[in-house]
């Protein structure tokens, strides 16, 4: 996740957007301040010669969101990129389940240098499908909350939802994924020792 700085880079622009919009009711000022924060994080990483990939990707997303809002003159369009991203991720994870190659299994197989051996174990494959479905659920929940707010033009609601359904939802899903995958391999280790 990029350590403490990566978490701050992820959360602060959105938090600034909500705070500025709440106190000023000026969505354009809120957009510019969130873009400015993202620019500062990117510059900080570049000046310190640190890996800036995460900051640059974040900056690109924030700038693209701001450009969409400015071009349409609709502040709620600041949230379109995030909704599209969640839709694409959700669709990719869902399709991976439907074709029998759950994405979590593919990733774990690569990380553990096991390739596709997990597919030979029906239990593992079912578990990976379930864990991948958990991720589909996260992306779907975000869309189920944010799309109606977007259609209603509720900028404050969108900003709040994005914050609540961002890291506070992502971290438990990631932790649960890790715990389930870890238990799968502990189970495998204890069975091989018997």
Separation CA 101–CA 32 (nearest Å): 42
Q: Which long-range contacts (CB under 8 A, 24 or more apart) does 36-45 make?
A: 37/12, 37/13, 38/9, 38/13, 38/62, 38/63, 41/5, 41/8, 41/9, 41/12, 45/5
Q: Is the pTM of this model over 0.85?
A: no
pLDDT band at 1 (very low <50, low <70, confident <90, very high): very low
Each residue of 30-45: pLDDT tens digit? 888 988 988 888 888 8
DSSP one-letter code for 166:
S
Choice among 40-54, 66-80, 120-134, 165-179 with the minimum mean pLDDT: 40-54
Q: What is the pLDDT of residue 30?
A: 85
Q: What is the pLDDT of residue 190?
A: 56
């Amino acid at each position: 996740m990029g350590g403490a700085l990566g978490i701050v880079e992820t959360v602060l622009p959105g938090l600034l957007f909500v705070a500025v919009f709440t106190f000023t009711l000026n969505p354009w000022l809120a957009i510019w301040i969130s873009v400015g924060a993202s620019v500062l994080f990117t510059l900080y990483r570049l000046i310190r010669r640190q890996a800036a990939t995460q900051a640059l990707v974040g900056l690109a997303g924030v700038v693209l969101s701001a450009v969409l809002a400015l071009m349409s003159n609709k502040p709620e369009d600041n949230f379109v990129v995030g909704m599209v991203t969640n839709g694409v991720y959700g669709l990719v994870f869902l399709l991976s389940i439907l074709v029998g190659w759950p994405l979590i299994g593919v990733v774990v197989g690569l990380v553990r240098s096991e390739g596709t051996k997990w597919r030979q174990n029906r239990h593992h494959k079912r578990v990976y499908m379930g864990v991948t479905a958990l991720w589909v659920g996260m992306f779907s929940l975000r869309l189920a909350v944010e799309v109606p707010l977007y259609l209603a033009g509720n900028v404050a609601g969108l900003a709040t939802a994005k914050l609540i359904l961002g890291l506070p939802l992502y971290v438990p899903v990631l932790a649960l994924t890790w715990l389930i995958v870890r238990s799968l391999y502990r189970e495998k280790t204890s069975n091989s020792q018997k």
